[in-house]
Chain A
Amino acid sequence: MSMVQNFPFFSIILAMFSGIASSVLDGKRAKHLSLCVIAVTTGMSAAVLRFCMKTGESYTYMMGHFPAPWGNEIRAGALEGLTATLFGLVMFFSVVGGMEHTAADVEGSKQNLFYIMIDLMLSSLLALIYTNDLFTAYVFVEINTIAGCGLIMIRQKGRSLSAAIRYMIMSQLGSGLFLIGLSLLYDVTGHLLMTPAKEAVAVIEAAGLYAVPMLVIMAVVSVGLAIKSGLYPFHYWIPDTYGYATPTASAILSGLVSKGYIFLLIKIFYRVLGRENVIASEIVNVLFVFGLAGMLMGSVHAILEKDTRRMIAYSSVAQIGYIYMGIGLGTQAGMVAAVFHMFTHSATKALLFISAVGLYEVSGDRKDFRSLRGAGYRNPLAGIGFTVGSLSMVGFPMLSGFISKLLFATSALQSPHKMLPTVIALAISTILNAVYFLRLVITLYSIPETSRGQAASPGKSNWKLQLSVVCFILLNLTLGLYSQPIVEWIGSGLAMFD
């Protein structure tokens, strides 16, 4: 067994251990430790990706002395490696970018607790990506939820506390449904590991047994994870949550946490329930419809919003809608597009949140977007970052958002029944996106009126934020310009799932 194959396990344990060790460190050391750990795990994930692309197949890794149906297992393939690498990058840049604000928003003696949450969040995300066991997935979903709640409420303002309780309530509804789905699945298959469970599901489907329970399992698991990732009718917690947390937390929550659940859902579809069964069961059509509704309604809400960060949060609702629409198309191409859009969105949304903060800090920290008038001149780099992010969301060529829209459109053409609604919704949603993002960009670059410009102080430059904005722009451009190999990796990674 090659050493690289140990890396997924090492990265999970390392992240967890650093979280545990941070409890006795002071804030500064905890910060450095957590940055180091994120960097190391990202490197390890990249090595795993390279290893899997070289050997061309995935592998499972026993957690303990006992093989598949008895002991826990994790599994790594190309898609897992790619996702873990990108998540690690986004997390690193978000932590770096929001560092100053974290120091300001969090009480001095509680700094290390913030980094404990970051570490454990990283480990739970990695575990959700790599896991090959359903119950492990449940436990780490819970860690993810609690760490997310911690990241929201660590900025102890009233609004973020109420957002945190709302988030917890919605997440618990989702977890409850997910857990009962797992129990039902265990009841009819008798397995908790994904590989044997899939075999058992195939046997059941072939024998035509338990048709009703299987349908309900699919529905309940999808709805549970959809609630947790904020699909349209369950999106009420999103704007408060993303809008009032500290910048790092907003970027991580919107960019990574919801994506972790979606990745788990895709994994369960492929590795447990079987893609054909899911497509045959019409569940995908329900997800498709809700995805379309989310795309439109999220954008409409964003247009009506005045607070920039809440606007970006509502735009997340729309983008989550895109991802579910891709899953709902039910074709391989649709799934590739959904996964690619997942990456796009995590890179772009984190960029938007971080650069919006950069703009706020030169405009007197007011919520209203009108205070941002002319902020693009006061903090040029953040302005450029915001513009790039907006253009990417709208689908400007060369940027990653364009590629994902292209992929959605081409995959829609392959499924005749869903082509028309998809294309129409894509068009309308793009126009709506353009409307509210361009409005922001125009505001950024319009000359401030003298009376209003008084309040804004010329901000001192915060090099960490600028560095992270530059890195995010580069990441976006990479995703946009080198999309071909990434799409291929996603395709081969999805093929490894079967």
Chain B
Amino acid sequence: MSRQRDDYEKSWWYRFRKWVDGEMDLLDEGMEIRVPDEMLAAMDGEGQDAARHPAENKEHTFSYDGRGIRYFRRFYQVMSVLLCLSIIFVLLWTVAYLPAFGNAGNPDNNEVSARYIERGLQETGAVNIVTGMILDYRAFDTFGESCVLFIASCCVLVLLRIDAADGNEQARKRLEEANDRLFEPKNDVILQKCACVLVPLILVFGIYIVLNGHLSPGGGFSGGAVLGSGLILYLNAFGFGKTERFFTEKVYRRLTLSALTFYCLAKSYSFFTGANHMESGIPLGMPGRILSSGLILPLNICVGLVVACTMYAFYALFRKGGM
């Protein structure tokens, strides 16, 4: 009888049943899974330590539990270095076989770029061929790109926006703002005087870049980024109190929504008419004038607005978790 019991305990079925019940592992029997308690305690100590001096913790190395993991890390690092080196090597080897630099006969200087250059002015009305290309020939990519910006700002909102729903959160918000003012000069005179001169200049320059996107280098994205940095400078000099008078989350939402909606509708119209071989009926105007090149100017303005607002929103969210 006892012998039978022994057999049963050794049998695969018994072990399977035990494993089904989660009482043992078939493959790593006897392996240490949990971290020993004193190790955990040590780590906790370190954790508190790190929390108290957050800045220093990059100096001390973190002790890993178990030899296996350490060897695994070492192995992983060596393999990664090898992988990176081999990628660099392979790509360099490739570069040696690529067409030579600056040669007009390279495969990428083909009929595609030739048509953009030769007929771009007539077909899009934009003097700056790059702008004409990204906002008319390859507009779908550019629309996708605005959506990337939009969704990134949504993700940052999810992560960093602090909702003042209950008292606890409000306390946290006040704390955040206190922290926020901790490291910066309050009402610094030099900064404010400089900002008084610089902010209008930066804003005018940004608007110029946006409006002249189809005539000179620049366009919605660069101009919007310049505008956004101007706003950020203003915010830094005068604090949130001043900016909140004209720029709140509501304004931000409405601006982005209307700009993106206009972009979406305008481009949908142009895609739809184009694909169904209809005339779009939008006058291209006289090349070289400000009011020319059809939809490109309004689209640039929309993109500029979206980018400026998003950059400012990123900054405000990073600073205090709200706008």
Enumerate chain A interface residues (CB-CB to B < 8 A).
1, 6, 9, 13, 16-17, 19-21, 23-24, 61-66, 69-72, 107-110, 113, 116-117, 120, 123, 127, 133, 135-136, 139-140, 142-143, 146-147, 149-150, 153-154, 156, 177, 180, 184, 186-191, 200, 210-213, 216, 219-220, 300, 303-304, 306, 368-370, 439, 442-443, 446
User: Are B264 and A23 in touch, CB under 8 angstroms?
Assistant: no
Whole-angstrom distance between the alpha carbons of A247 and B91 in the complex? 41
**B147 contacts the other chain (CB 8 A):** yes
**Contact stretch, chosen from B39-47, B60-68, B150-158, B204-212:** B150-158
A-B CB contacts (within 8 Å), total count: 189
Contacts of B170 in A (CB 8 A): none
User: Are B148 and A9 in touch, CB under 8 angstroms?
Assistant: no
Whole-angstrom distance between the alpha carbons of A16 and B272 in the complex? 16
Contacts of A300 in B (CB 8 A): 27
Query: Are A142 and B110 also in contact (CB < 8 A) when A13-B264, A63-B274, A65-B274 are?
Result: no
User: Are B273 and A65 in touch, CB under 8 angstroms?
Assistant: yes
Top 10 nearest A-B pairs (CB, nearest first) are A65-B274, A72-B140, A139-B144, A190-B108, A190-B107, A190-B110, A150-B155, A63-B140, A370-B22, A64-B274
Candidates A1, A17, A69, A146; contact of B264 at CB < 8 Å = A17
CB distance from B321 to the nearest CB of A (A): 13
Complex: chain B residue closest to A67, CB-CB: B274
From 217 to 238 in chain B, residues with beta carbon under 8 angstroms from any chain A beta carbon are none
Whole-angstrom distance between the alpha carbons of A135 and B218 in the complex? 21
User: Are A69 and B257 in touch, CB under 8 angstroms?
Assistant: no
User: Are A150 and B158 in touch, CB under 8 angstroms?
Assistant: yes
**B69 contacts the other chain (CB 8 A):** no
Contacts of A147 in B (CB 8 A): 151
Candidates A1, A20, A133, A210; contact of B260 at CB < 8 Å = A20
CB distance from A176 to the nearest CB of B (A): 10
User: Are A1 and B116 in touch, CB under 8 angstroms?
Assistant: no
CB distance from A443 to the nearest CB of B (A): 6
B interface bracket (residues with beta carbon within 8 Å of A):
35 or more
**B112 contacts the other chain (CB 8 A):** yes
Contacts of B147 in A (CB 8 A): 16, 19-20, 120, 123, 143
Query: Are A146 and B108 also in contact (CB < 8 A) when A62-B275, A109-B163 are?
Result: no
Candidates A72, A117, A190, A304; contact of B139 at CB < 8 Å = A72
Whole-angstrom distance between the alpha carbons of A439 and B22 in the complex? 9
User: Are A109 and B112 in touch, CB under 8 angstroms?
Assistant: no
User: Are B27 and A13 in touch, CB under 8 angstroms?
Assistant: no
Contacts of B260 in A (CB 8 A): 20
**B21 contacts the other chain (CB 8 A):** yes
Contacts of B254 in A (CB 8 A): 24
User: Are A116 and B270 in touch, CB under 8 angstroms?
Assistant: no
Contacts of B140 in A (CB 8 A): 63-64, 72, 133, 136
Whole-angstrom distance between the alpha carbons of A9 and B170 in the complex? 45
Excluding A120-B151, A184-B98, 13 further A-B contacts by CB distance (< 8 Å) are: A1-B275, A20-B261, A23-B154, A24-B253, A62-B275, A72-B141, A108-B165, A116-B154, A120-B150, A143-B148, A146-B155, A187-B98, A219-B90
**B246 contacts the other chain (CB 8 A):** no
User: Are A187 and B99 in touch, CB under 8 angstroms?
Assistant: yes
Candidates A63, A117, A133, A135; contact of B151 at CB < 8 Å = A117
Query: Are A135 and B275 also in contact (CB < 8 A) when A116-B151, A187-B108 are?
Result: no
Contacts of B22 in A (CB 8 A): 306, 368-370, 443
Whole-angstrom distance between the alpha carbons of A65 and B140 in the complex? 12
Contacts of A62 in B (CB 8 A): 271, 274-275
27 A-B contacts (beta carbon < 8 Å): A9-B272, A9-B275, A20-B264, A24-B254, A61-B275, A62-B275, A64-B136, A64-B270, A64-B275, A66-B137, A71-B137, A71-B138, A110-B161, A113-B158, A117-B154, A136-B141, A139-B145, A149-B155, A153-B158, A186-B108, A188-B98, A188-B107, A190-B108, A211-B97, A212-B97, A219-B90, A443-B20
Contacts of A143 in B (CB 8 A): 144, 147-148, 151
CB distance from A29 to the nearest CB of B (A): 14
Whole-angstrom distance between the alpha carbons of A210 and B115 in the complex? 26
Q: Mark B262-300, 1 if CB is under 8 A from A, else 0.
A: 001000101111111100100000000000000000000
CB distance from A20 to the nearest CB of B (A): 5
User: Are A110 and B158 in touch, CB under 8 angstroms?
Assistant: yes
Complex: chain A residue closest to B250, CB-CB: A24
Complex: chain B residue closest to A138, CB-CB: B141
CB distance from B101 to the nearest CB of A (A): 11
Most chain A CB within a 10 A radius of its CB, from B94, B99, B165, B257: B94
User: Are B274 and A69 in touch, CB under 8 angstroms?
Assistant: no
Whole-angstrom distance between the alpha carbons of A127 and B144 in the complex? 10
Candidates A21, A63, A133; contact of B271 at CB < 8 Å = A63
**B37 contacts the other chain (CB 8 A):** no
Query: Are A72 and B111 also in contact (CB < 8 A) when A66-B274, A180-B91 are?
Result: no
User: Are A113 and B108 in touch, CB under 8 angstroms?
Assistant: no
Query: Are A188 and B274 also in contact (CB < 8 A) when A72-B140, A107-B163, A213-B94 are?
Result: no
CB distance from A26 to the nearest CB of B (A): 12
Contacts of B20 in A (CB 8 A): 439, 442-443, 446
CB distance from B125 to the nearest CB of A (A): 12
CB distance from A345 to the nearest CB of B (A): 25
CB distance from A169 to the nearest CB of B (A): 12
Complex: chain A residue closest to B31, CB-CB: A304
Whole-angstrom distance between the alpha carbons of A443 and B22 in the complex? 9
User: Are A6 and B275 in touch, CB under 8 angstroms?
Assistant: yes
Candidates B116, B144, B155, B261; contact of A70 at CB < 8 Å = B116
Complex: chain B residue closest to A204, CB-CB: B107
**B7 contacts the other chain (CB 8 A):** no
User: Are B157 and A113 in touch, CB under 8 angstroms?
Assistant: yes
CB distance from A269 to the nearest CB of B (A): 20
CB distance from A162 to the nearest CB of B (A): 13
Most chain A CB within a 10 A radius of its CB, from B21, B26, B158, B165: B158
Whole-angstrom distance between the alpha carbons of A110 and B249 in the complex? 14
Complex: chain A residue closest to B94, CB-CB: A216
**B109 contacts the other chain (CB 8 A):** yes
**B59 contacts the other chain (CB 8 A):** no
Query: Are A146 and B151 also in contact (CB < 8 A) when A23-B257, A66-B123 are?
Result: yes
Whole-angstrom distance between the alpha carbons of A146 and B144 in the complex? 13
Complex: chain A residue closest to B144, CB-CB: A139
User: Are A64 and B141 in touch, CB under 8 angstroms?
Assistant: no
Whole-angstrom distance between the alpha carbons of A147 and B150 in the complex? 11
Candidates A107, A140, A304, A442; contact of B144 at CB < 8 Å = A140
User: Are B271 and A64 in touch, CB under 8 angstroms?
Assistant: yes
Contacts of A120 in B (CB 8 A): 147, 150-151
**B25 contacts the other chain (CB 8 A):** yes
User: Are A71 and B257 in touch, CB under 8 angstroms?
Assistant: no
Candidates A1, A70, A156; contact of B112 at CB < 8 Å = A70
CB distance from B167 to the nearest CB of A (A): 16
**B85 contacts the other chain (CB 8 A):** no
Query: Are A153 and B155 also in contact (CB < 8 A) when A71-B274, A304-B27 are?
Result: yes
**B28 contacts the other chain (CB 8 A):** yes
**B159 contacts the other chain (CB 8 A):** yes
From 64 to 99 in chain B, residues with beta carbon under 8 angstroms from any chain A beta carbon are 87, 90-91, 93-94, 97-99
Contacts of A303 in B (CB 8 A): 26-27
Contacts of B141 in A (CB 8 A): 72, 133, 135-136, 139
